[in-house]
Amino acid sequence: MVGISGGIDSTVVAALCARALGPDKVLGVIMPETDSSPDSQKLAENLARHLGIEFIVENITGALDGFNCYQRRNEAIKEVFPDFKPEYKTKITIGSNPLEGAALNYFKVSMEKPDGEMKSKRLPLKQYLQVVAASNFKQRTRMSSLYYHAERLNRAVAGTGNKDEHELGFFVKYGDGGADLKPIAHLFKMQVFQLAEYLQVPEEIRRRIPTTDTYSAEVTQTDFFFGVNFDILDPAWWAMEHDVPAARVAEELNLTEDQVMRIYRDIQQKKRNTTYLRLHPLEIE
């Protein structure tokens, strides 16, 4: 049982499960909603055909409407952009880049009008939290759908988070974080790309730039959360874990030592701030 999005992570997990269990024992669940990129569903369907696994398309827009997901998100955006209309495309990006300045993380919201006009503003914490909390209904609804099929078929839900997402907290607790096994949670994104190549998953998926596919205006994962591309972030992180001198890292990755230190601090800060996402419910001993 795997939720497949047309992204590289779920593709690799689905391919691994198909190898491990046989394609007839893997069900791909495609769960688009109104803000999803139309490409995603197509890619996910093509993947399922490529792997020879069964797939089901569950459009979750109705469920999300039932949760007032869109209404609650739009309400917060309207507080920042009073002229916002529900048909405008929106996205959230991080306002700082560890390569340029100190890792002072704040967020920006951008709104794209139908005529192409783009407006961006700093997003105050309260509205940011509401936009994210409302959007998280998407991942949690997908988790519910996955467990519906898993329990119906006596199967397990395979999670698709990689190490970057898992350890830096780029996942929704009990949303995409809710799964029975997480086979690639220890692998850097750069390593997931290598598995994808080895497993010969469709080229069209390997070539895609990772996006969140959560906001109506497309936003890359670099812009939304990580701030640095994976080909820099991942080797720098490995170096940090293995106490490689910053000077050597800077030389190898074409950065200044200062930039390396800022990446390190950003990693540590994200890990620290998202600890509670990785904690199981606290019980009394």
User: Interface residues with another protein (CB under 8 A)?
Assistant: 58-66, 68, 275-276, 279, 282, 284
Q: What is the nearest approach in angstroms of another protein to the Cβ of residue 251? A: 37
Contacts 24+ apart (CB under 8 A), 105-113: 105/269, 109/77, 109/80, 109/81, 110/217, 111/77, 111/81, 111/84, 112/88, 112/217, 113/88
Q: What is the nearest approach in angstroms of another protein to the Cβ of residue 64? A: 7
Q: What is the nearest approach in angstroms of another protein to the Cβ of residue 61? A: 6
Residue type, 46: N
| Nearest to another protein of 59, 105 (CB atom) | 59
Q: What is the nearest approach in angstroms of another protein to the Cβ of residue 154? A: 23
| Nearest to another protein of 65, 218 (CB atom) | 65
Tokens describing residue 174? 């009990």
What are the φ and ψ backbone dihedral angles of 121, each rounded to 5 degrees?
Answer: -145, 155
| Nearest to another protein of 93, 127 (CB atom) | 127
Strand partners, 127: none
Q: What is the nearest approach in angstroms of another protein to the Cβ of residue 97? A: 25
| Nearest to another protein of 25, 173 (CB atom) | 173
| Nearest to another protein of 167, 223 (CB atom) | 167
- Rounded to whole angstroms, the Cα distance separating 237 from 269 reads 13
